[in-house]
Amino acid sequence: MESITLAHSDLKVSRLCMGGCPLGEYGWGAVDHAELVRTVQIAVDNGITMFDTADVYGLGSSEKTLGQALAERRKDVVIASKFGVRIENGKTFYDNSREWINKAVDASLQRLNTDYIDLYQVHYRDGKTPIGDIVQSLQDLQKKGKIRYFGLSNVTVDDISELIPYRDYFVSFQDEYSLATRKNEAIIQGVQHTLSLTPMTWGSLGQGILTGKYGKDTCFGKDDRRSRDIYVNFHGDKLLHNLEIVEVLKQIATSIGHSVAAVAIRFILDYIKESIVLVGIKNERQLTSNLEAVKFCLNEEQIGKLLMISKDKNE
């Protein structure tokens, strides 16, 4: 398993990180709790040492599942969680206030069944709390031993200049990135260069479209978020373009003897240097497929083909 040390820290982690959204057991179709727990444990056995979640995934059930699965392996892994999204009375809003951060971290610690969180991340900025105040709140949590390091998620271009004076305090940032969604590429490269933070990509398989399992006639049930139009990777012209990308992925996968998903993941590992790739996994079969990504590298010709086919057609 390839590993990396997060910027400005001593956190050495696997470059493959298990994403915790499916662990919330909501919005991804049928899932089996016992299999989720078992899959997390098998991931550790196979060298995955980083696990990312958030307090809102499954309204806390993702953190509970992770805490249950890692109870006997806590010292062997790095747990990352996120705060800043509140869901109350049927409404969703962002809150980065000191009061909410303190409340959120205590609740996450309890659900995760741990005394500390290795990496605590701002899920979304609330548009009103100054970054300096957020840093102060998080530093106070560090002093209390509740968190070890802190990071960012869903950074915007406007955030970069504000973050420059605080770049040595954060260690990482997350943004959506895959062959199906390259719109954040410039932001990722800008943050990586300007702020010297470790990039972490979420949505790395385009919510599953890049696994090669789905076609233009695929229909999702109402219990699967991908049935909704806002999940553009599975609808309209965007779906058709994604299927063109998948065909190139299949060609490369066949030529090198690895899974389509592994090639899509490997592209990010090779193209976004010093990155961590988050992959959502529901079962051992998906885990096995994704783990193939650490067994090979793509050559320049293969990367070039993928860059060409995945280019936004509106550019």
Q: How far apart are the first and last CA of the chain?
A: 36
Sign of CA dihedral 248, 201, 181, 168: negative
Contact predicate 150/120, CB 8 Å = yes
Tell me the CA distances in angstroms from 148 to 11, 151, 179, one per residue in order. 9, 11, 32
Instruction: Please report whether residue 315 resides in a domain.
Output: no
DSSP β-ladder status, 170-176 and 78-83: unpaired
Tokens at 228, concatenated: 């909704």
* CA–CA distance, 268 with 274 (Å, rounded to integer): 10
Domain containing 72: what range? 3-309
* CA–CA distance, 32 with 278 (Å, rounded to integer): 21
* CA–CA distance, 172 with 167 (Å, rounded to integer): 10
Tell me the CA distances in angstroms from 20 to 37, 60, 113, 115, 210, one per residue in order. 11, 11, 16, 19, 19
Contact predicate 130/166, CB 8 Å = no
> Could you list the active site residues?
57
Contact predicate 111/64, CB 8 Å = yes
Residue 216 half-sphere exposure, CB side, CA atoms within 13 Å?
A: 10
Instruction: Please report whether residue 314 resides in a domain.
Output: no
Long-range CB contacts (< 8 A, 24+ apart) of 180-188?
A: 180/206, 180/209, 180/210, 180/233, 180/238, 180/242, 180/245, 180/310, 181/206, 181/233, 182/310, 182/311, 182/312, 183/312, 187/155, 187/156, 187/157, 187/160, 188/272
Q: Nearest to residue 175, comparing CAs of 122, 132, 138?
A: 122
pLDDT reported for residue 28:
53
Beta strands in 89-246 (DSSP E): 91-94, 117-122, 147-153, 170-176, 198-202
CATH code: domain of residue 50: 3.20.20.100
Q: Nearest to residue 192, comparing CAs of 275, 284, 69?
A: 275
Instruction: Please report whether residue 228 resides in a domain.
Output: yes
What are residue 3's DSSP bridge partners? 14
Counting as low any pLDDT under 50, the low residues of the chain are none
Query: How many CB atoms lie under 10 A from the CB of residue 128?
Result: 10
DSSP β-ladder status, 91-94 and 85-88: antiparallel
Number of domains making up the chain:
1
* Phi, psi (rounded to 5 degrees) for 273: -65, 150
Instruction: Give the H or E element holding residue 278.
Output: strand 276-280
Contact predicate 6/119, CB 8 Å = yes
What are residue 50's DSSP bridge partners? 17, 78
pLDDT reported for residue 248:
95
Is the pTM of the predicted complex or chain greater than 0.85?
Answer: yes
Instruction: Please report whether residue 113 resides in a domain.
Output: yes
